[in-house]
Structure 1
Amino acid sequence: MKIKVITYVLALIFLLSGGAKVAGLEFEIVAFERWGYPLWFMYFTGVAEVAIGIGLSANILRKYAAMASCPIMLGAIGTHAINSEWPMFAIAFTIFLLCVTLALSLWRPTSVENNAG
């Protein structure tokens, strides 16, 4: 049950965050300019985040989306650390920990796989 809650909370976070980037909301444009990233990278990141959010919502893609979320969040952690944005760093790090927890829980071997060999 707890993993389902983590899954859908993360899906919502990625859909909203990615959607804001894809929509080109002003606060996202300002942030990417402040960080020195090109605008195309904002849209690229947004599409990746929306894809992860959709993937987390679809059972067949969930494992892959959970794995893909980890490097995205490492990028966010690095960006916030380099720019000394410590409250956002803490949020990104917390989301990263949830992503790792989810990915590990989805990729662990099942008892059938353990008994197969």
Structure 2
Amino acid sequence: MSAQTVQPRTAAADRRTVRKVLWVPQILLAVFLLVASGLPKLVGQADAVETFDLIGWGQWFRYVTGVIEVAGGIGLLIPRLAGLAATGLIGLMAGAITTQLLVIEPAWALMPAAFAVVFAAIAWNRRYETRELLQSLKR
């Protein structure tokens, strides 16, 4: 038997491994945001209109939310923008959690909370690219 040496994994290699694992929920969430959440708000699907009537901020807020969801969903699919999109979507989920708890149905706050956890993992994993992107915008 020969002795094999095990090379220690680098932090960059660990990030790449986690990134590969995160692509599955990232793509699924992007499709959800685009197809099941953002577009129904933008086309005025009846339940979306009813929900935003219940919230009480007016239908303009439905359009703003729909645009943010569609933009975030697209951003999640573009590697250079994924971290920034995930960071923004954490804010959107915080608003959704608050709205569910205070206005709509508290039990439904668990879904945006779970989404926020995944977005946080994506944002953390892509923090170096996000930092680079923001620095390039300053130049």
**TM-score of the alignment, normalized to the shorter chain, above 0.5:** yes
C-alpha contact 2:101 2:107 (8 A) present in aligned 1: no
Please tell me whether residue 80 in structure 1 is matched to residue 100 in structure 2: yes
Q: Structure 1-normalised TM-score?
A: 0.86
The aligned counterpart of 1:115 is: none
SS in structure 1 at match of 2:126: helix
Matched, 1:24 2:44: yes
The AA in structure 1 aligned to 2:108 is M
* Structure with max Cα Rg: 2
Is residue 39 from structure 1 mapped to residue 59 from structure 2 by the alignment? yes
Q: Provide structure 2 residue ranges, at least 5 long, that are not aligned to the other structure.
A: 1-19, 130-139
Contact 1:52–1:65 under 8 Å retained in 2: yes
Displacement of 1:87 after TM fit?
Answer: 2.9
Count of paired positions: 109
1:62: which partner in 2? 82
- Where 1:37 maps in the other structure, the secondary structure is coil
- The CA deviation at 1:67 is 1.0
TM-score by length of 2: 0.73
Aligned-partner SS, 1:56:
helix
Please show how residues 106-117 of structure 1 align to structure 2 within 5 Å: 106-107=126-127
Deviation per CA, 1:42-96, whole angstroms, max 9, x where unpaired?
0011011100001111122112111111100000000001025123211111111
Q: CA-atom RMSD, angstroms?
A: 1.5
Structure 2: which amino acid aligns with 1:28?
A: A
Distance 2:122 2:108 in 1: 21
**Given residue 92 of structure 1, which amino acid in structure 2 is its aligned partner?**
P
Task: Give the corresponding residue for 1:91.
Answer: 111
Q: Look up the SS of the partner of 1:47 in the other structure.
A: helix
| Amino acid aligned to 2:97 | I
Gaps of 5+ in 1: 110-117
